[in-house]
Structure 1
Amino acid sequence: MITDAPIRLGTRRSALAQAQSQQVADALAKVSGRVVELVPIVSEGDTNRASLSEIGGTGVFANRLREALVAGDCDILVHSLKDLPTQEPAELVIAATPERADARDVVITRDGTPLQELPGGAKVGTGSPRRIAQVRRRAPRAEVVDIRGNVDSRLARVESGELDAVILAAAGLARLGSESTLHREYLGFSEWPTAPGQGALAVETLADAPADLLAALADLDDEDTRLAVTVERTILAGLEAGCQAPMAAHARVRDDEIRVRAVVYEPGGDRRIGVDVTESLNRGYIRRNGSGNGANAADGADPMHAIRAFGMSAAHRLLEQGAADLLPRE
């Protein structure tokens, strides 16, 4: 049934969540011709100030939003994809993955000192187990401080001198339009791969949502982004590790190939196990049968099956090298 009623978009209340949700709202309003309203929702991750490693990072930002969607309090959700558990509830579907922003991590300092050159005792703030392990490898003399808080509060701790550096996502800084004068060091993927799904957004709705809403959301989907994040999240699922595991996976699509680099870290940073593999794409099949957002081929075939198989193969290679010994189980 086609309706002109506003589309209600559920989002966390943080400045970053609302900024990225507003971007999706504007794009959806343009393709659907309908008003899109933001519906702020408070999640456990917004109210519990304990470390993510203590409260369990998997789903801590998503669960309350999903409850609101199922209850009918909103029509769609916008998540940072890296915060979503890999197991999708049967009643929900990721209906769109818009074009990915910069997926790199950024080191923020007062004076531009590169991370690996920070002096002994320098304090580096991050709450991510993956980043903690990476910092311990890149800057072993530095002290890692487990922090929470929004982007502005983290930047303020560097400006005040409480911390010498923080590690942030480039995508978040860009979406907020941060104009901080602090120095930025962008970290390359070869030595500093990032979290599965980092830089990407997921637009989630009910699996039985109205056809016109699903069609409008499909217009927001970016094929290269969906291919890449599907590989990354399949690796995470294959390792049976949660969103806060000390592991990284970043995939890039170029022409008719997809390449992924995935690394599992020992929490202390002493050991790491990695793979770097490339696979050819059959784009014609994918485009003919849908990009994986719930549209299946007429014969029931899953057009993303080969992509997930590629990701699972990479996960198996990591496990064969002993990655399970480094990971907490989900």
Structure 2
Amino acid sequence: MTILRLGTRRSALATTQSGWVADRLRAAGHQVELVEITTHGDVSTAPLATIGGTGVFAAAIRQALLDGEVDLAVHSLKDLPVAPHPGLEIAAIPVREDVRDALVARDGLTLGELPADAVVGTGSPRRVAALNALGLGLRVQDLRGNVDTRLRRVAEGDLDAVILACAGLRRLGLQERITEAIDPLQMLPAPGQGALALEIRSDDDQARAAVIPLDDPDTRAAVTAERALLAGLGAGCSAPVGALAEIVEEMDGSLHVSLRGFVGAIDGSLDLRRSVTGPIERAEDLGHELARTLLEDGARAVIPRSEEPERPAGASRPGGPQNTSSSVHNDLEQNL
């Protein structure tokens, strides 16, 4: 059998995620070789928002795919731009890890226990907006570096806390460092957070056949809704936007998507939350519908509308005749 060359970034988290996929492919009888690739995001020390957002981590790997240097790439889905990339496709999205953001704080503190003026490190505009909206009087410091570097800033007393993704810490076996898994009611995760995307060349039937068994339809539907929200807002993956879709079973046995969205101002002056629910077959449409609601209700003030919304990379779960009914709700609860 032909060896599948799997392109990965060199960071511990990226190689761990790629290794997780490689192990499952090997268990299915495939031969897999990991190929390490350095991206612009890995070598730059500038804030992500100034160098093009988290999509900078994917560009080099995608180019290696197109050039035939690798056959498969494993991305953190939240790092991928929502627009489809010509010549490439997301062939599988495995079962999602913990979607929540994680606080790692000194002395085992939670967000509510951090004193006023405590310094919290994060490189995410979404997390900055959510933290400032909480009104806890925390000071936020921009943060770059790999997971070990960020955790060391807390251990050495340079920062009072950092915020990372629960999924990454769990995949690295560092879940014991989490002092609080932040409730999505306080901080909605990034669209696609906790999910992996397995990307191939669109004309590579062999790679597609190998990875499709790893696809989880419910996870795909959920992240399709979340990324459609991001696309409908005309926002990039480093924008102050949060989203979380959950698959729920109705009384009649049908599956629905319950999607919540957040748009915030960096200074905390805007904390806009809305939600929508509808049939799983309409996951992508629901994301665009919620984006329109958020824009109409004030999101335009912090996210300029693009001329034409992008389409999310990944299709919603296939099904029978579509039920076009859905319900949109105003989420007026305050952050705790």
Same-fold call, TM > 0.5?
yes
Matched residue of 2:179: which SS? Answer: strand
Counterpart contact for 1:118–1:139, Cα < 8 Å: no
Alignment of 1:246-265 (within 5 A): 246-255=240-249, 256-265=255-264
1: CA distance, partners of 2:207 / 2:65: 14
Counterpart contact for 2:134–2:186, Cα < 8 Å: no
Counterpart contact for 1:117–1:139, Cα < 8 Å: no
- 1:258-295: per-residue Cα shift (whole Å, max 9, x none)? 1011010011112121212211235xxxxxxxxxxxxx
Q: Does 1:76 align with 2:72?
A: yes
Q: Given the superposition, is the C-alpha separation of residues 42 and 106 from structure 1 closer, same or farther in structure 2, using an over 3 Å criterion?
A: same
Q: Does 1:325 align with 2:301?
A: yes
Quote the offset at 1:92 in angstroms: 0.4
Identify unmatched segments of 5+ residues in structure 2. Answer: 250-254, 307-336
Alignment of 1:6-155 (within 5 A): 6-31=3-28, 33-155=29-151
2: CA distance, partners of 1:172 / 1:71: 29
Counterpart contact for 1:106–1:184, Cα < 8 Å: yes
Alignment of 1:203-282 (within 5 A): 203-209=198-204, 211-255=205-249, 256-282=255-281
1: CA distance, partners of 2:121 / 2:138: 10
Letter in 2 for 1:22: G
Matched residue of 1:65: which SS? Answer: helix
Quote the offset at 1:219 in angstroms: 0.4
Quote the offset at 1:329 in angstroms: 6.2
Counterpart contact for 2:277–2:286, Cα < 8 Å: no
Quote the offset at 1:254 in angstroms: 2.0
Q: Does 1:5 align with 2:6?
A: no
Matched residue of 1:59: which SS? Answer: helix
1: CA distance, partners of 2:191 / 2:181: 18
1: CA distance, partners of 2:193 / 2:54: 15
Counterpart contact for 1:242–1:329, Cα < 8 Å: no
2: CA distance, partners of 1:139 / 1:162: 22
May I ask how many residue pairs the two structures share in their alignment? 301
Matched residue of 1:62: which SS? Answer: helix
Q: Given the superposition, is the C-alpha separation of residues 110 and 55 from structure 1 closer, same or farther in structure 2, using an over 3 Å criterion?
A: same
Matched residue of 2:107: which SS? Answer: coil
Quote the offset at 1:58 in angstroms: 4.7
Matched residue of 1:121: which SS? Answer: coil
Q: Given the superposition, is the C-alpha separation of residues 246 and 25 from structure 1 closer, same or farther in structure 2, using an over 3 Å criterion?
A: same
2: CA distance, partners of 1:151 / 1:83: 16
2: CA distance, partners of 1:153 / 1:329: 36
2: CA distance, partners of 1:30 / 1:328: 46
Letter in 1 for 2:27: K
Letter in 2 for 1:323: A
Report the aligned-residue RMSD: 1.4
Which deviates more from structure 2 when the two are superposed, residues 15-24 or residues 188-197?
Answer: 188-197
Partner of 2:320: none
Q: 1:194 is matched with which residue: 189, 192, 195? A: 189
